[in-house]
Chains A and B, each alone.
Chain A
Amino acid sequence: MSDLYKVAIVGSGPAGLSAAGRAAALGMSHVLIEKTDHLSDTIYKYQKGKHVMATPSNLVLRSDLDFDAGKRETILGTWDEQSDAQKINVELNGEVSKVEGQKGDFTITLKNGKTLRAEAIVLAIGTQGNPNMLRCPGSDHQMIQYQLDDPGEYYDEHITVVGSGDAGIENALGLAADDAQRNVVTILNRRDSFARAKAANVSLLEEAEKDGRISVRRETSPAGVKDGELVLETRDGEETIPCNRIIARTGSQPPRGFVESMGIEFSSEDRSAFPKLTPAFESTAPGIHVIGALAGYPLIKHCMNQGYDVIEFLNGNTDLKPADEPILSEKFGALPGNHSVEHWLDVFGGNVSVLKGLSTLQLRELMLDSDVHSFEPGEAIFRRNDPGSSLFAIAEGSVSVEINPNDPSITVPIDQGSIFGEVGLISGRRRGSTIRAAEPVVAIELARNAALKLIATSPEAAEAVNRIAVERQLLQMFGSGLTPNDIAPLVEAAEVMDVKAGQVLIKEGDADQDVYIIRRGSMIVEKAIGDKPVFLSYLPAGSYVGEMAAIDGSARTATVKAAIKAEAIRLPGEKFAALLDNNPALREKALTEMEGRRKTNAFIESRKDNFGSAVDLYSETAQFLVDEGLGEATDVLLIDEKLCIGCDNCEKACADAHEGLSRLDREAGRTYAHLHVPTSCRHCEHPHCMADCPPNAIKRGPDGEVVIDDTCIGCGNCQRNCPYGVIRMDPKPPEKPSLLKWLFFGSGPGPGEASYAWRKENGDPEQPKQAIKCDMCSGIDGGPACVRACPTGAAIRVSPDKFLTFTKLTEDVD
């Protein structure tokens, strides 16, 4: 039995290492447990020479170990050196298998059988998890590895890759890429198809199989690992193949299960939820503290600061202010009254209903991603049609909403503690009405990501936002003269439902009479003419459908289905009809609009008989564009290939309008009826790229454009998350000689994106790779360069609801 340490730190990444450094500096008895044979495995696994960034730049680093942006090797080298110099007590190769005991006396059992005792535990294990082991005898054999850093370093080997996902296929392709390595590469798949992998990877694998470069074994799994041999279990029985190396890529186990087994509770069942923590990082299991990425802080600086803080707290330093204190105090400095950070945090947490369920730690973090504002009475907080997807909460004062754009004197109040701006947050569309301060107001503006995280982690907040959103959406949609009281029965009966892409909401011919509001995503309306479905119209978020049946009790005249994953609010038909009966003006309005749409439908139906082909073209082109992601787009670049001469001036202009890299690939992408959707950002309503950006570098700009700013750390998450493949990772290229120099003296690469070779030769090798994508030429006078630079008018930028109409899609443009 070893001595009782004051603290055991599990995981030697930035957070754990920094904690150990602080413990060593304080002379606290400690042990740093690392499961691999080196420190900081996540960063160790970065590719060679990767530039590691140090964002956020305004956050001071508080740690006994140094960290600054630089190459992976430099950073790891510094940490190795400093952890030696500071006499940090490291236990390498120590994977924790079990934790027992309680605060004051924990017993930690390692996989190798060793046990350690500590009074407190700091968990800093990150979110990487453990790779799944092979489930067969010999699964601990040294031939097995779970990572392939450089496929070029193996020669003359029999290598078997286990796993049918993208990682496994990419590894196998890499190992077989160069014949000169003379490797015999086999890939095993438990099933008979590679359904989990990307189609492009599967076709490359099938091609390699046809060429005989990779042996693909389907319905085969490993049954035993021996020296130089691998026993396979195939459909026809056991078989043994020669094998020098096994690469297991069968996924990994997220650490949540392990963490929960210690008695630590998470804030919700949501996959993205984090453990519940006190301001001193203590989890619901007393004596166990959680810091770093596992606690919800993916950035290195945050992690290192928390490592320092948690040890200070354990050492009894309760007065320690978090390292973000100066940032918050600067933020709150703009508010009236010159109050302390603590005062404002108390006000926010106490007054604002959606923030009531948060711990101080969560509140501080939320405030880091948010802005605070004060407004004078009468001042506009935002105006109708402003782009914006942030959520506002009123900490002090109240605001008034101008519900009628034609008459600003008609307003509805929103009181202290409530929220507004939730429609923009949910739908991703422009602001629906102007909001002004009614009295002096202190408001918190939660950035979209922060607000979504809040909704995901706090069920109270989710419930509050939902209820308010439904009521406001109804008021805004049915407009003038209605009060919250009028629609109360409707709000009561409303039901928010998720609609999967392609799912039918209303079926033509059915007799149901419910009315639906599309609050997120978009839908398409189809009608069966002949036996074919004909595209009638496109419905963006904020539209309502189905009221015809509710008004006149007729059967559904068309089918409505989701173009992409959507959310709809279902309103019972009879309640809606009752609302109309009580409000003749509203009824009149609904009837007029209904008549207009009946005419459109009748027009397309009449066209169908006379000009069948035009309707077919319209319907099929619209369907094609929706399939290509227009259903969730706000602004898309299209190329009319009846006009495109292939000069690539759009790409050149794009590169020259930015820092020398094109953000669009004209040739790539799908085409239907000469309408081409190039590989270029669609500026989605709910951008997939924003979902997981550690430094929050992806934002929505003033014109609705989705942009990546300079704080990008080059992690590549957005590139992986984008379903349209429009984000590239590249270092900023060097400045080119001017156009005239090229024109007269031939110096430099000329207009457009310089070749890779030129960029490499003339560029700064230290320049880190960052994510780049279309920013819609934000801030450039004249607008998108791709469109301005098209000589024939082939390149156009469109918004789906304007373009997916019969006139636009069938017009003659030559």
Chain B
Amino acid sequence: MATTPKNRFSQDERRRNADHVSFLKHKRFRWLWIALVLCIVSGLGYVMIDQEPRPNGGSWYGYTLGTIGLGLIVWLSLLGIRKRKMTTGQWSLKAWTSAHVYLGLALIVVGTLHTGFQIGWNVHTLAYVLMLIVIITGIYGVIVYATLPSTLSSNRKELTRAQMLEALTALDRQLESAAQPLDRDKSDLVISALEQNVFYGGALARLTGAYPGCATKRALASLPEHNTADGAEERVRSLLAKRSDQLAQIRRHLRIRALLEIWLFIHIPATIALLAALLAHVVSVFYYW
């Protein structure tokens, strides 16, 4: 039916990073392949190279693995800076994330081989354990990044966070006037629902989405269903039901965001601790050499 002009895109293409793939699939799994090669080469080296008296962090091969591991850890921790520093140039945070994920996983192999499976109660093992904690929380992070965003999007239903709160405020205003004709104890329940902080509930409530002390739910339960005799009560009930739905949407949003972020509260402090432990590990190794 139609012929389109062919004189376009070549320049737009260069400028626009429109490859529509996730950080995991970035450049056809480029960093996964690099990480796999690193693991295989380290493993083969460990098996093939005759380390005397036994595989140990202190052999020349052990030092090589240790240097690679240290370099990786320091570089991986720089993602936090890269993310926040908007410099110019052809870099993409997606590529950084992709490399961060796959090279971080490769550290399990590199780091473990570096230990030569010598585990004990010392600062060296502390560094190793901290590294594993960082990696395990990171694996959780990758899983939630890959699975949760679409639920976050479906729950939002095109509303922004501010609009969700505005919708609640609008309902509250209507509830306040609609509850005027109610008797004392029922209006007290409505008032307590209105007075309760939208963000009430601790970290546990955020993560589980369970809010046992929700005053809106309590107020809703106190009003019988389909009380068509009392128009005012029925109106308050329907408004409370809407308020409850709106709260649920906000809480689901908070819950998904919390699940997407909770791991960072371990991942980042453990990284800082890891860097400190690594410093102690390196200094002590060279001090006692």
A389 — which chain B residues lie within 8 A by C-beta?
none
Q: Is the CB of B11 within 8 A of A645?
A: no
B90 contacts across to A, CB distance below 8 A:
781-783
Residues from chain A with Cβ under 8 Å of B107 in the complex: none
The stretch of A342-350, A489-497, A541-549 that contacts the partner chain = A541-549
A791: contacting residue among B16, B23, B173, B174, CB under 8 A: B23
CB distance from B154 to the nearest CB of A (A): 8
Q: Does the CB pair A751–B24 fall under 8 Å?
A: no
Bound complex: CA of A644 vs CA of B145, how far in Å? Answer: 8
A649 with B8: in contact, given A543-B2, A790-B93, A791-B23 (CB under 8 Å)?
no
Interface check A129, CB cutoff 8 A: no
- Known A-B contacts A782-B91, A792-B145; A640 and B5 likewise in contact (beta carbons under 8 Å): no
What residues on A are CB-neighbors of B122 within 8 Å? none
Whether the Cβ atoms of A814 and B25 lie closer than 8 Å is yes
Residues of B within 8 A of A781 (CB): 88-90
Query: Are B161's CB and A667's CB within 8 A?
Result: yes
1/0 contact string of B92-108 vs chain A (CB within 8 Å): 11101100000000000
Contact of A649 among B12, B93, B145 (CB under 8 A): B93
Q: Tell me if A540 and B7 are in contact (CB < 8 A).
A: no
Q: Is A560 an interface residue (CB 8 A)?
A: yes
Q: Which of A674-731 contact B (CB under 8 A)?
A: 674, 676, 703-704
Residue of B nearest to A385 (CB): B7
Nearest chain-A residue to B97 (Cβ)? A791
A665 vs chain B, min Cβ distance (A):
8
**CB pair B21 A676 closer than 8 Å:** no
The answer to whether B12 touches A785 (Cβ under 8 A) is: no
* Cα(A811)–Cα(B83), bound, Å: 28
Query: Contact between A667 and B160 (Cβ–Cβ < 8 Å)?
Result: yes
* CB-nearest residue of chain A to B12: A799
Instruction: Decide if A264 is an interface residue (CB 8 Å cutoff).
Output: no
**A788 contacts the other chain (CB 8 A):** yes
Is B21 within 8 A of A668, CB to CB?
no
Which residues 132-164 of B have a CB within 8 angstroms of A?
A: 145-146, 148-150, 152-154, 156, 158, 160-161
Q: State how many residues of chain B have any CB contact under 8 Å with chain A.
A: 55
User: Once the chains bind, are A668 and B160 in contact (CB under 8 Å)?
Assistant: yes
Residues of B within 8 A of A791 (CB): 23, 83, 93-94, 96-97
Is A794 positioned at the interface, with any CB of B under 8 Å from its CB? yes
**A211 to B160 Cα, complex, angstroms:** 23
- One of B10, B17, B96, B170 near A796 (C-beta < 8 A): B17
- Chain A residues with Cβ under 8 A from B25's Cβ? 813-814
**Residues of chain A lying within 8 A (CB to CB) of residue B93:** 649, 788-791
Partner of B150, one of A477, A642, A703: A642
Q: Confirm or deny: B197 has a beta carbon within 8 angstroms of a beta carbon on chain A.
A: no
Contact of B23 among A384, A545, A793, A796 (CB under 8 A): A793
A429 located at the interface, meaning its Cβ lies under 8 Å from any Cβ of chain B in the complex: yes
Within 8 A of A (CB), among B1-35: 1-5, 7-12, 15-26
- Asked whether any CB of chain B lies closer than 8 Å to the CB of A248, the reply is no
**Contact present for B15 and A783 (CB under 8 Å):** yes
CA distance A643 to B148 in the complex (A): 9
CB distance from A660 to the nearest CB of B (A): 11
Give chain A residues whose Cβ lies under 8 Å from the Cβ of B170: 207
* Distance in angstroms between the alpha carbons of A743 and B21 in the assembled complex: 31
Q: Is the CB of A543 within 8 A of B3?
A: yes
Contact call B22/A814, Cβ cutoff below 8 A: yes
A195 at the interface (CB under 8 A from B): no
Give CA–CA (A808, B229) in the complex, Å.
Answer: 57
Residue of A nearest to B11 (CB): A385
Q: Which positions 149-187 of chain B face chain A at CB distance < 8 Å?
A: 149-150, 152-154, 156, 158, 160-161, 170, 173-174, 177
Is A187 part of the contact surface with B, judged by Cβ < 8 Å?
Answer: no
The verdict on A645 contacting B92 (CB below 8 Å), with A384-B7, A671-B158 known, is no
Residues of A within 8 A of B9 (CB): 799, 801-802
**Residue A186 CB within 8 A of the other chain:** no
Shortest CB–CB separation between residue A654 and chain B, in angstroms? 9
Q: Which of A547, A644, A787 contacts B17 (CB 8 A)?
A: A787
Note all chain A residues with C-beta closer than 8 A to B5: 429, 432, 477, 540, 542-543
CB closest chain-B residue, reference A640: B20
User: Which residues of chain A come closer than 8 Å to B7, judged between CB atoms?
Assistant: 384-385, 405, 430, 432
Contact B26 A793 (CB under 8 A): yes
What residues of chain A lie closer than 8 Å to B257, measured between beta carbons? 646
Are A789 and B153 in contact (CB-based, < 8 A)?
no
Measured between alpha carbons, how far is A751 from B149 in the docked complex, in Å? 23
Q: Is A739 an interface residue (CB 8 A)?
A: yes
Interface size on A, residues (CB 8 A): 84
Cβ of A125 under 8 Å from chain B: no
Give the interface centre of A477, A593, A640, A643 by most chain B CB atoms within 10 Å. A643
Q: Which of B4, B15, B85, B150 contacts A739 (CB 8 A)?
A: B85
B219 to chain A minimum Cβ distance, whole angstroms, is: 20
* B12 adjacent to A787 (CB under 8 Å): no
Assess A547 versus B153: contact at CB under 8 Å? Given A793-B23, A813-B20, A813-B21: no
A656 within 8 A of B: yes
Instruction: Note all chain B residues with C-beta closer than 8 A to A506.
Output: 1
CB-based nearest A residue for B8 = A430
User: Are A649 and B83 closer than 8 Å at their CB atoms?
Assistant: yes
Which of A385, A674, A798, A808 contacts B8, CB < 8 Å? Answer: A385
Are B84 and A739 in touch, CB under 8 angstroms?
yes
A798 touching B153, Cβ below 8 Å: no
A641 to B20, CA, bound (A): 12
The complex places the Cα of A441 from the Cα of B90 at a distance, in Å, of: 40
The CA-CA distance from A537 to B86 in the complex, in Å, is 38
Chain A residues 757-810 with CB under 8 Å of chain B are 780-785, 787-794, 796-799, 801-803, 808
Q: Which residues of B contact A784 (CB under 8 A)?
A: 16-17
User: Bound state CA distance, A432 and B81, in angstroms?
Assistant: 44
Q: Is B277 an interface residue (CB 8 A)?
A: no
Instruction: Tell me how far the C-beta of B5 lies from the nearest C-beta in chain A, rounded to whole angstroms.
Output: 4
Q: Could you tell me the distance between the alpha carbons of A443 and B38 in the complex, rounded to whole angstroms?
A: 62
Q: Which residue of B lies closest to A643 (CB)?
A: B22
- Residues on A with beta carbons closer than 8 Å to the beta carbon of B86: 652-653, 656-657, 751, 785, 789
List, in ascending order, chain A residues with CB within 8 A of B20's CB: 640, 793, 796, 798, 808, 811, 813
Task: Tell me whether B39 is interfacial, beta carbon within 8 Å.
Answer: no
The smallest C-beta distance from A599 to any residue of chain B, in angstroms, reads 12
Query: Are the C-beta atoms of B148 and A798 separated by less than 8 Å?
Result: no
Task: Assess the A557–B23 pair: CB atoms within 8 A.
Answer: no
A442 within 8 Å of B (CB atoms): no
Residue A558 is within 8 A (CB to CB) of chain B in the complex: yes
B260 part of interface (Cβ distance < 8 Å): yes
Contact status of A560 and B10, CB under 8 A, knowing A645-B145, A781-B89, A782-B88: no
> Can you list 19 pairs linking A and B with CB atoms under 8 Å apart?
A477-B3, A539-B2, A597-B1, A635-B16, A645-B149, A646-B257, A670-B158, A676-B153, A743-B84, A750-B84, A751-B86, A781-B88, A783-B15, A791-B93, A791-B94, A797-B16, A799-B12, A802-B12, A814-B25
A positions within 8 Å CB-CB of B = 207, 210-212, 384-385, 405, 429-430, 432, 477, 506, 523, 525, 536-537, 539-540, 542-548, 557-558, 560, 590, 593, 597, 601, 635, 640-646, 649, 652-653, 656-657, 665, 667-671, 674, 676, 703-704, 739, 743, 750-751, 780-785, 787-794, 796-799, 801-803, 808, 811, 813-814
In the complex, the 9 A-B pairs of residues with the closest C-beta atoms, listed nearest first: A641-B153, A542-B5, A667-B160, A656-B86, A545-B2, A781-B88, A793-B94, A751-B84, A543-B4
Interface of B with A (CB < 8 Å)? 1-5, 7-12, 15-26, 81, 83-86, 88-94, 96-97, 145-146, 148-150, 152-154, 156, 158, 160-161, 170, 173-174, 177, 257, 260
